[in-house]
Structure 1
Amino acid sequence: MTTVINNNSEVIFHFSIKLPDGSAADSSKVHNKPAKLIIGDGSLTANFEKCLLGLKAGDNKSFELAPEDAFGQPNPDNIYHLDRAKFGADTPATIGAIIAFTQPDGSELPGIIREVAGDSVTVDFNHPLSGHQLTFDVEIIEVNNVEVSSS
């Protein structure tokens, strides 16, 4: 019996995410390390996971995702203006640089420097792929259904 991907599947797969111009934004094939996830574990957004449901080992499929179905539209509330004094020699405020900022809970959040004007540095904490239509190519390598324990 062929196992198809459902809500309790562990999936090993290669993926590529491409921008509208065809350039690769991300790919598991770069280091030849397939991705592994359990559907619903939060590794992928719900819309990415929906693309995988019903596929089986050996399947190759390509999906077009609107920004709302991928990483969303940029949120203006995720753009901050910080004091240039917060940046130093080890983390210069250079336009286009991606810098990890430590959150109050200790986790790190990457931000992209968008503008430097006088003492103000504009940092964008939106996902770099937000606002983009994406092509999601998948090659399913292995599908295993995991037992869900009920207590």
Structure 2
Amino acid sequence: MTELVEIKQNSEVVLHFDLKLADGSAADSTRVNDKPAKLVIGDGNLTQSFENCLLGLKTGDKKSFTLNPDEAFGQPNPDNIYYMEKSKFGSDTPAEEGMILAFTQPDGSELPGIVREVGGESVTVDFNHPLAGQVITFDVEILSVN
């Protein structure tokens, strides 16, 4: 019988995960399309808190972790809320409350923003992570570790 490898720094991990909010509603899941996530511990794709939850787990392990906002996606930052002119939005992408739009940054990268309010000629866009301020339950099933 082969010995199962524990997850450590630089491990390649394939896993299924479910992210749930405090009320039990689903925020994200790899199971929806049955496409497991693949990552390397320490590559920056997950926060340190999420990675710390995985360290020491082995293939076949299933575990559930509850993370406070500061351990997950942080607290909402009022400096990440911007007021833009409605004229900046074209007819192909009119600003509507609840829409998530990609905004191009000066360096060419894209940043998602949530339209929070449309009033008169002003549009309020929130660039905080959509899960900022939320307590998150992180359920994982480790499929492989290399």
RMSD: 0.6
| Residue range with higher mean Cα deviation, 11-20 or 1-10 | 1-10
Matching of residues 97-108 of structure 1 within 5 Å: 97-108=99-110
Gaps spanning 5+ residues in structure 2: where?
A: none
Are 2:13 and 2:40, in contact at CA under 8 Å, matched by a contact in 1?
yes
Deviations 1:83-127 (A, max 9, x none): 110012111110111111011111111100011111111000000
Amino acid in the other structure paired with 2:107: D
| Counterpart among 17, 40, 43 of residue 41 in structure 1 | 43
Partner SS for 2:70: helix
Partner SS for 2:145: strand
Partner SS for 2:50: helix
Aligned counterparts of 2:10 and 2:90: Cα–Cα separation in 1: 47
Aligned counterparts of 1:136 and 1:43: Cα–Cα separation in 2: 15
What displacement does 1:8 show? 2.1
Equivalent residue number for residue 64 of structure 1? 66
| Counterpart among 115, 120, 123 of residue 121 in structure 1 | 123
Amino acid in the other structure paired with 1:107: S
Partner SS for 2:52: helix
TM-score, normalised with respect to structure 2: 0.97
Aligned length: 144
Aligned counterparts of 1:8 and 1:127: Cα–Cα separation in 2: 26
Partner SS for 2:123: strand
After superposing on structure 2, the runs of 4+ consecutive aligned residues of structure 1 that deviate more than 4 Å are: none
| Counterpart among 12, 27, 30 of residue 28 in structure 1 | 30
Equivalent residue number for residue 112 of structure 2? 110
What displacement does 1:140 show? 0.1
Are 2:10 and 2:43, in contact at CA under 8 Å, matched by a contact in 1?
no
